[in-house]
Chain A
Amino acid sequence: SPDRHSYAKYKNWEKIVAWTEKMVNKHPEMVSRIKIGSTAEDNPLYVLKIGKEDERRKSVFMDCGIHAREWISPAFCQWFVYQATKTYGKNKIMTKLLDKMNFYVLPVFNVDGYIWSWTKNRMWRKNRSKNQNSKCIGTDLNRNFNASWDSFPPTGNPCDETYRGQAPESEKETKAVTAFIRSHLKSIKVYITFHSYSQVLLFPYGYTSKLPPNHEDLDKVAKISTNALSTRYETRYVYGPIESTMYRTSGSSLDWAYDLGIKHTFAFELRDKGKFGFLLPESQIKQTCKETMLAVKFIAKYILKNTS
C-alpha cells in the first residue's frame, strides 16, 4: 500500500513525520509522541516514547541524525521503533525490556540539516541556524553541548564544519534535547547516540584523556555489545573512549550526558568503514539495523540488570 513505510529505504523528513503518526496510531498502548521543542527553522523535534505509561521506570534515551549527512542513523532509529513494536510479546528479550523499561527515541535530532541534505546538499553536516557576523550557516550540534565546550580543538569559526556555536546550548535543538533529558534524568539510565561512519562504539571522554570512574564497566559493556553485533554478519567494530579511540573532541552530547549523571553513555559510528562512507547504499540498511539491534538490546538488558 502506498503508505507502507519501507524500513529498507532512506526516508525524507516528511515521511518520517508521517511514520511517527502512524506508529502512534497503530500502537497507542505502547507508542506516544512528545514534541520536545523546535528547530532553528521551526520544524518540530519529536521524541517517541516506547513503553508503558509509568514514567518512574528505568529508561533509555537514544538519538539519531545529529549530523545531517549520516542517513543510516535515522534509518536505525526508525528500525528500532518498528522492531520494538513488532516483536513485543513475541521476542523474549524485547518483551522483558519493554515490560520493565521505557525507550525515548529521537528519530532526527538535526531536522533542518537533514531536510537540507535531502533537498539542497547531500554533504551537509551542521544545523541551519544563521551565524551573527558571518555568511557561513550552521553549528555542529555535537560540539554545542556544555562539556568542555570551548577547550581544544579550536571550533570557534562559523565556517568550520565543526563550529561549536556561539555558546554552549546556543542552538534551539540542543536546548530542547538537554531540557528533555534533564527533566527525565531520574529515569534515564543510558544515553545512546547514533552516527556514521567507522564501525566504532565509543564511550566518554572525548574532551580529556582522563578515564571515567566506571570505565571498566563501560569497556565491558562495549566489548560484549560489539561481540553481540558481530554475531549476525561478522561486522567488526572497534570500541573505546572517544579521545584515545578517535581523537579529542569538545562539546559532545556523550560527554555532557555522562557528566550530567547518566553513567552509561555510548556513541555508535555505524557502517561502513569508508567504502561508501556517508553514502551507504540502501541495500545495507537492513543488515546494519539488524546487527545494531543486537548491541542495543544487550546494552538495555545490562542496564536493566545492573543499575539501581
Chain B
Amino acid sequence: IAPVRFDREKVFRVKPQDEKEANIIKDLAKTNELDFWYPDAAHHVAANMTVDFRVSEKESQTIQAALDQNKMHYEILIHDLQEEIEKQFDVKED
C-alpha cells in the first residue's frame, strides 16, 4: 500500500457559538469525512468549544460553503497538510 498523501488537505478551526452551530458541525460530519483533531470525535462537539478537524481538498469547499452560509466563524489552521507533514522534520540530523 502506498503511503497516504494529504496534498492540499485542510485543517479547519471552528468555534460553534451555540447548540445550533454545534449541530451543524455534527451534521457535516455525517455527510463528509471529517477527521476530528479536537475533540476526538463528532459526538464530543458542543457549544463554545474550539473544534479542529481535517478535511480533504475536495470536501473542504463544501465545508467552507456550509460554514459561510451559516455565517459561522472559522479559520483554516493548515492549508496544505502534506506540506506541513514534510516541514515537521525541520531539524538537521546531528
Q: What residues make up the interface of A, taking CB atoms closer than 8 Å to B?
A: 4, 6, 8-10, 71, 119-123, 140, 153-155, 160-162, 197-198, 246-249, 274-283, 285
Contact = CB atoms under 8 A, between A and B. Distances in A.
B3 A283 contact: no
Contacts of A198: 38
Contact of A282 (B11, B36, B44, B91): B91
Contact of A4 (B44, B46, B94): B94
22 contacts: A4-B94, A6-B94, A9-B89, A10-B88, A122-B4, A123-B4, A140-B40, A153-B41, A153-B43, A161-B40, A161-B41, A162-B41, A197-B38, A249-B40, A274-B52, A274-B77, A277-B37, A278-B37, A279-B85, A280-B88, A281-B91, A283-B90
A140 B36 CA distance: 14
Contacts of A283: 90-91
Contacts, number: 86
Contacts of B84: 276, 279
Q: Across the A-B interface, give the 3 residue pairs with the lowest CB-CB distance, nearest first.
A: A282-B91, A247-B44, A121-B4
Given A161-B35, A279-B84, A154 B90 contact: no
Interface of B: 1, 3-4, 6, 11, 13, 35-41, 43-44, 46, 49-50, 52, 54, 77-78, 81, 84-85, 87-91, 93-94
A281 B92 CA distance: 12
Contacts of B39: 246-247
Contacts of A160: 41
A121 B3 contact: yes
Contact of B13 (A162, A247, A274, A282): A274
Nearest to B38: A198
A148 B37 CA distance: 23
Given A6-B93, A275-B77, A281 B88 contact: yes
A161 B44 contact: no
Contacts of B81: 123, 279
Contacts of A153: 41, 43-44
Contacts of A140: 40
A95 B25 CA distance: 51
Contact of B78 (A155, A277, A282): A277
B52 to A, nearest CB: 5
Contacts of A6: 91, 93-94
B88 A279 contact: yes
A130 to B, nearest CB: 15
Contacts of A248: 44
B93 A122 contact: no
B40 A277 contact: no
A247 B46 contact: yes
Contacts of B88: 10, 71, 276, 279-282
Contacts of B4: 120-123
Contact of B11 (A10, A119, A277): A277
